[in-house]
Structure 1
């Protein structure tokens, strides 16, 4: 796979299914180099064996939801101003009708049970900011007064002056007369055509944000999670409330003091509320390898008694994007394990059954009756949609499969202390020996998986063998595995990646252990920087968007109020003991530092200070900074920037670790 071949990578979002199971809709997304953006549309497949067809022809349509009567589909599209809004289209196809006009953009949304209204979240912009005053640029705005411990978020920016609130609106009639712009009058004045048929009613107000929209079974309330910026110390526990759609009193379903951090909410046919939630402890910030479980809230909304249906020590429901789908009296959830993501069916007595497993990573699911559809990735495809029991319904991966040169081979190596380390090696065709690049994933509580991975395939295409694993600290191997580096970053995790590298190289004659490079992003950037200060075998290194200095991270990152506290501690000696900046003087490896200008997760100063230290001491180093990008560059950045990044990676390795 060449860098430009990322244009063949199509991902498939969470599907929605008609109430009678007769059809499903879903969104796709792929990088388009010509448009220099990610593009995608809404698709429909008639079940059980129809062919996929485009339902919309927008530039980047997403998040489709079928109405309760199965006659319409609501989805998110950018309006004429480039702001995300809800549009509604007949389920059979036709011209979409704009339903919302939220200046701050729509977040999540849901149909009311009767199909007559849509509730949604949208950010409410402070007057005088974000273009609310025409002709007033951002640099002319008044200063922001910060009083809490959080003020920004990666991919968004400032948050206190644009809280997310809950609204409800009548669903537009997709068969109604269109709006027309009035013709100019004799005075030369011309009006503008309205965009929407009805004005949204605000259900919440104030400084507290609201995330998630789920109607109760009777349609009288909307369940949503509160996010209040703390004054003094971070608290990951999140209250769950039920907001009455008639504007009357709000019911507190789960108070902050109940101790839950809620990831997803769903409501079953009988009105039972289910949540995916973890318990961040008395400190409120114990988030490492979180004990995410599926709970049902039993009793009235005002006095629920959460009951766990799954055991977080045996079932890991913490994968990003995990959600709940009611299926009769049961629930569907996603379990990550050893680089895979399974689809599980959980009964109300706590029985767990795998519906989909094997070499697959499930990304989303929907159900009607006993008919289940799910999106997923495989070793040869970044995204497909399948019908449970019938197999794949799409073939989006065929375009990418033409560029796949190697299917990674699974390995398990015994580390120096006897611990098993699981991972993969991808090798170019031929006998070798090939130079080797050790890749390290981010997180750290994340994992490499079995899906088609452009990072690996681009390097293999250039002639490199790629070795990567899930060391201690990763997800998918039990909570003890994930929590093992708490207060001990750069210890067993570094040993694991190095022992895995040595074990794979020793067992495979195609790999040249005398020619080795190392690279990683985010936590992978951390462990790369840490490793090259302690092991000098590498011909070169790439440190990307790294967590490099725990001290400055606390006051600059959007997660600085808790991330470093939990992983490396708050005592100066503990922080220094696990800090790449504290040992940068030991680095002799030529290092390319890559970062994004608007990265608020691992802020740019982490990279610039690390790079400056390398240069000051005479270590060969270069730095590459991407304008306008954030922490998600490699996953959702501008396609041309992604290609330029790959070009820079390959050029760096061609100089320091030539493959041919």
Structure 2
């Protein structure tokens, strides 16, 4: 793959399926370099053997949800101002009808059981901000008074003056007469308001300064379940209450007190509430390898159905699909994301492994299951399964475009660290006899993992002639909680040992890999461990430190997760922090270093990069700094396509100078 071949990587979002299993609907997304944006539409496949056909023709349609009566599909599409709004289209295909008109857009939504209403969450701007007053520029707004421990979020910006609230809106019939703009008239009383077609008037159900996240209707449709995220006055608390908001606007009740950190919530056909959650401890801040489990509330007290020590349901985008009395969930393990079926008594059945499941849905009878999956040959496909997972059939072939662009299949490898601990990972190698210069890649997180899916970061480097070595060291996800928690208060210890041991093992396993020409690179936590490695090991020809967690001290007061991340990972003792800080040992670095960062990165703020870069230059180390305007921490995954291509080109140019093929 070349840098511009990111256009060939088509990702597939969480699918929906008709209650009778007769068809499925899903959204795709891919980068379009010429348009300089991510594009995608909704697709429909008639089951079991139909061909995919486009259901919509928007620029970036996403998040389709089928109405319970299977007649309509609601989805998110940007309005003229670029804000995501709920739209509705007939399940058989029609012109899309805009349903919401939220001033800052909609983040999430859900159908009512009767298919006539949609609940959604939208941020409500404080009067005088975010365009609520024509002509008032952001720099002319009143100052923000901050009294809590949080004030911004990566990819969003300020959050305290635009809390997310729950709304409900009636869904118009897509067959209704369209709305027409009234012509000018001489007398005001001659113009009557007309309510045919178009977006309806949404009713706001929640108030206050706290934000709400996620919505799902109860089985009788009288309430909407949602979690509350309140900005804390003193210290971060990850525990989130679950509340039920009355659809008629008469108030709300607490379903679960703030005991868990709650993710996805689902309601089974019998009214039981299931949720994915972890226990952040008595102080509400323990999030390291959090141990996300499936819980069910079918009585007065929630019951845990899965063991968080052995089953990890915390993958980004992980969600619940009720199937009768059972539930489908995603378990990440050894670079894969498996599909599991869990019964009410906690019995766990593995339905599909060997790939990465990104989303799933099942018909009412549970006889047909559709999954969005990524494989070693594709960034996204739709997979059809039977109820037991025995009969599997790919319904799409989006990976063919990547095949035409060209890729290699990585080789799986396990290496023993010096203490005997097994380190699992992969080696991707160009074709030919070699020898090949080698790049050691380190993932972010740290509680994340490299997986089996087709990965542009690796493929572009291999195409340029580099062998790429990457693994999931201690601290990563997918190998049990003890693996993930092993570097808590000990960053830069076993994790560094593991990545270097895996590098040595990979070099020893293939004589085509040139151990005398090795580089190192990583982003986020990977940027941390790269900066830490080059301060302690000087074998590398050069390094790339990207969007790194580089100074835990300043991170505390600048990052959107600074109120708890550093405290939990490196502790609060100044000596302990210093013993794990790349900035504290930057004077030991002798490796030429390329520092890459984004201007609007609030996760690992820009100052982490600029201060690290400045320290390198002040001590005479060859260093360069590349800053991307308008991008945040997600540049490599969802940034503007041209920026993603320019980033790849800059990386290849850096390696061509310091580690020529």
Give the TM bin, normalised by the shorter chain: over 0.9
**Per-residue deviation, 1:337:** 0.4
TM-superposed CA distance for 1:298, in Å, is: 2.3
Q: State the distance in 2 between where 1:100 and 1:402 align.
A: 40
Other-structure match for 1:624: 626
- Aligned counterpart in structure 2 of residue 376 of structure 1, from 352, 373, 393: 373
In 1: Cα distance, 2:191 partner to 2:596 partner? 51
Structure-1-length-normalised TM-score: 0.97
2: CA distance between counterparts of 1:352 and 1:187? Answer: 70
Work out whether residues 223 and 247 of structure 2, in 8 Å CA contact, stay in contact via their aligned partners in 1: yes
Matches within 5 A, 1:532-571: 532-571=534-573
Partner of 2:429: 427
CA separation of 1:116 and 1:431: change in aligned 2, threshold 3 A: same
Structure 2 residues without counterparts, runs of 5 or longer: 386-390
TM-score, normalized by length of structure 2?
0.97
Aligned to 2:407: 405
Structure 1 pair 405–111 and aligned structure 2 pair: CA distance change class (3 A): closer
Asked if 1:340 is matched to 2:336, the reply is yes
User: How far does residue 182 in structure 1 lie from its aligned partner after superposition?
Assistant: 1.7
Taking the TM superposition and a 5 Å limit, the aligned residue runs for 1:63-78 are: 63-78=63-78
1:36 corresponds to which residue? 36
Verify: 1:142 aligned to 2:142, yes or no.
Answer: yes
Contact preservation (8 Å) 1:182, 1:193 = no
Match of 1:456 in 2: 458
Q: Hey, what's the Cα distance between the residues in 1 that align with 2:605 and 2:457?
A: 23
1:390 is displaced (CA, Å) by: 3.8
The 2-side partners of 1:252 and 1:87 are apart by 31
Secondary structure of 2:108 counterpart: strand
- Deviation string for 1:619-656 (max 9, x for gaps)? 00000000000000000000000000000000000000
Q: Is the 8 A contact 2:224 2:245 kept in 1?
A: yes
How far apart, CA to CA, are the structure 2 residues paired with 1:571 and 1:329? 48
In structure 2, what is the equivalent of residue 611 of structure 1? 613
Determine the C-alpha separation between the residues in 2 that align with 1:618 and 1:187.
76
> Equivalents in 2 of 1:152, 1:288: separation in Å?
21
Number of the residue aligned with 1:242: 244
Within the alignment, does 1:387 sit opposite 2:389 as a pair?
no
What CA distance in whole angstroms lies between the structure 1 residues aligned with 2:484 and 2:406?
Answer: 31
Query: Aligned residue for 1:62?
Result: 62
Q: For the structure 1 residues 163 and 436, does the alpha-carbon distance in structure 2 shift closer, same or farther, using more than 3 Å as the test?
A: same
Q: Is the contact made by 1:380 and 1:404 (CA closer than 8 Å) also made in structure 2?
A: no
Q: Secondary structure at the match of 1:650?
A: helix
Aligned-partner Cα distance in 2 for 1:650–1:535: 23
Q: Which residue of 2 aligns with 1:321?
A: 317
**5+ residue gaps in structure 1?**
none
2 CA distance for matches of 1:101 and 1:563? 36
Task: Name the stretch that deviates more: 71-80 or 622-631.
Answer: 71-80
Where does 1:376-525 land on structure 2 (aligned, <5 Å)?
376-388=373-385, 389-525=391-527
Among 362, 365, 368, which residue is 1:367 paired with? Answer: 362
Which shifted more, 384-393 or 278-287? 384-393
CA contact (8 A) 2:101 2:199 kept: no
CA contact (8 A) 1:149 1:231 kept: yes
* SS class of match (2:536): coil
Paired with 1:88 and 1:402, the residues of 2 have a C-alpha distance of 35
Question: Take 1:191 and 1:508, find their aligned partners in 2: how far apart are those partners?
Answer: 78
State the partner residue of 2:92. Answer: 92
Give yes or no for contact 1:414–1:421 (8 Å, CA) kept in 2: yes
Q: Distance in 2 between matches of 1:215 and 1:263?
A: 16
Q: 1:539 to 1:193 in 2, by over 3 A?
A: farther
The equivalent residue for 2:388 is none
Partners of 2:33 and 2:187 in 1: how far apart? 47
Please list the CA deviations of residues 211-252 of structure 1 after superposition, one character each: whole Å capped at 9, or x if unmatched: 111111011110000000000000000000001111123110
Deviation at 1:84, TM superposition (A): 0.9
- Looking at structure 1, the residues matched to 167 and 575 of structure 2 have their Cα atoms a distance apart, in angstroms, of 49
Corresponding residue SS for 1:275? strand
Q: 1:53 to 1:468 in 2, by over 3 A?
A: same
**Equivalent residue for 1:656?**
658
Where 2:437 maps in the other structure, the secondary structure is strand
Summarize the Cα distance change of 1:192–1:453 in structure 2 as closer, same or farther, 3 Å threshold: farther
Shift of 1:494: 0.3
d(CA) in 1 for partners of 2:509, 2:298: 54
Tell me how many residue pairs correspond in the alignment: 652
Partner of 1:181: 181
CA contact (8 A) 1:73 1:90 kept: yes
Q: CA deviation at 1:507?
A: 1.8
Q: Pairwise mapping of residues 126-141 of structure 1 onto structure 2 (< 5 A)?
A: 126-141=126-141
Structure 1: distance between partners of 2:508 and 2:92: 58
| CA positional deviation for 1:143 | 0.4
Q: CA offsets, 1:400-433, max 9 Å, x none?
A: 1222331100000000111000000000001101
Partner of 1:351 in structure 2? 347
* 2:270 equivalent in structure 1: 270
CA distance in 2, matches of 1:541, 1:82: 38
Aligned mates of 1:207, 1:571 — CA distance in 2: 33
Q: Distance in 1 between matches of 2:376 and 2:119?
A: 38
- Structure 1 distance, partners of 2:184, 2:461, is 60
Query: 1:71-123 deviations in whole A, cap 9, x for unaligned?
Result: 11111101122111101111110111111111121111111001111111100
Task: Measure, in 2, the Cα distance between the counterparts of 1:590 and 1:80.
Answer: 46
Q: Is the 8 A contact 2:178 2:198 kept in 1?
A: no
